Structure 1
Amino acid sequence: MGGRLTPVAPVAAGAREAGAGYAAAARALSAVPPVGGAATLPGPAELPGLDAAALRAAGLAGLLPGSEAGLALPLALGLMRGEARLWLGPERIEALAAALGLAPALLAWQLDAPPPPPPTLGEAAPWQGRQLPLLLGERLAWLRLFWRPDRPPRRGEKTLKGAGVALALQLDLPPSGRLELRARLEQGRLDAVMETAPRLPRPLLADLSEGFAAALARLGLGGELTLRHSEGDHGT
């Protein structure tokens, strides 16, 4: 590879893809292998040298959620495009692989490897999963998303728009420790419960509520978010 890669600008034209709605999301979810179906290589969070600085040096900051590109839209694109090469681009995968001393195909495979589901989700087999890098300033966190159908779709029913889909999300954040979200998507609604270890400050709670509402509006969904903490009596 020759020359320095120019970082991409924050995502601006992706709204067309986010607006594709349920069909695009269904394609993405169906393309990801079941949790536990991957081989024994370590996931991306265990790769030595894979940190926020390495991702920025490879020109990826403009594509990753939590960075200059914002959160909701890059996250939606990362999920809808399914594979790291389609989302991040082969040239940037190659630049990152060279910095880490890995073969590009191996790095792409590890970025696409589904994370193991947490024990709280019960049996692993029904769940599918994906993890995405999240840039938090100079820190890198890994967002782990899991989903499974609650029931098969009825005749003529679109997979995500009609049949129920259970969702779970885990993320380690500096101010709140472990953040967990459980949600259900059915009949055009996404209702979720988000739980953190400590009680969060009111301004942060307001930001989370506003971000959830903005994501629903972008996806054309209704729904509600309940915020809880596990400190004390599980206050809401």
Structure 2
Amino acid sequence: MEQSGQRTAVITGATSTRGIGRATADVLAAQGWSIGVLDLDQAACDELAGELTARHGVAAYGAAADVSDEQQARAAIDAMEAALPPILGLLNSAGVSSPLDYFDVSSDEWHRVIGINLTGAHYVTRRVAETMVRNRRGGRIISLASVSAQRGGGTFSKTPYSVAKAGLIGLTRSLARELGPYDITVNAIAPGPIDTDIMGGPLSPERKRELADDLVVNRIGQTRDVAAAVAYLISDDAGYVSGQTLNVDGGLYMH
């Protein structure tokens, strides 16, 4: 792939102050990647893009979209493609939690969670993959799954979330086969307990200790732990890794 600075990584769900997407944007920008910031609020996207440019001297562009709306998702990528260097990386980070018990899950809640966490990742991935295939420069596609997909919940979110994240793992494996001939790798990351708001808000010290008791390390994860994994999978060094799910979970799920 091209040298950093001459290539763009698109990150969905990027603007949350305590989120994995924002931490990853900062890590990749520090490595010289141009960044496409995609989230719901245009002002927040513009603000983060400006911060990345000011801090790291890279090109950055924000585009607002609801990823569960295919036309919005495609339009956002269209705008990024026109404004930034070639798109050679994608992190599907946009997601919502769902801690409801199964019998309390309404039809609207089911479709909301699947729509944002899984269908939205499909819409963005397809549009980005079209560009990667057309340009014939290779690429890296990464999606944030979850240890919940592998353990059937057991963290904060429950059934619809676990189903959506399991779907992302299936999407990853299938696309790795279909896009491999174009030198595009497709991988997933399955975080365990990470100190983000998707865990139901900021975690108390007591809750952190409870979560850490299930791990083989002595702490819960930080957003930069996952960002570091993204930085590896999006790098040239990971060109022989595809169709995989990398667990970043403190040893919560061993398989």
What TM-score comes out, normalization by structure 1 length?
A: 0.30
What TM-score comes out, normalization by structure 2 length?
A: 0.29
Between structure 1 and structure 2, the one with the greater Rg is 1
By relative contact order (CA 8 Å, sep 6+), the higher-ranking structure is 2
Whichever structure has more helix as a proportion of its residues is 2
Whichever structure has more strand as a proportion of its residues is 1
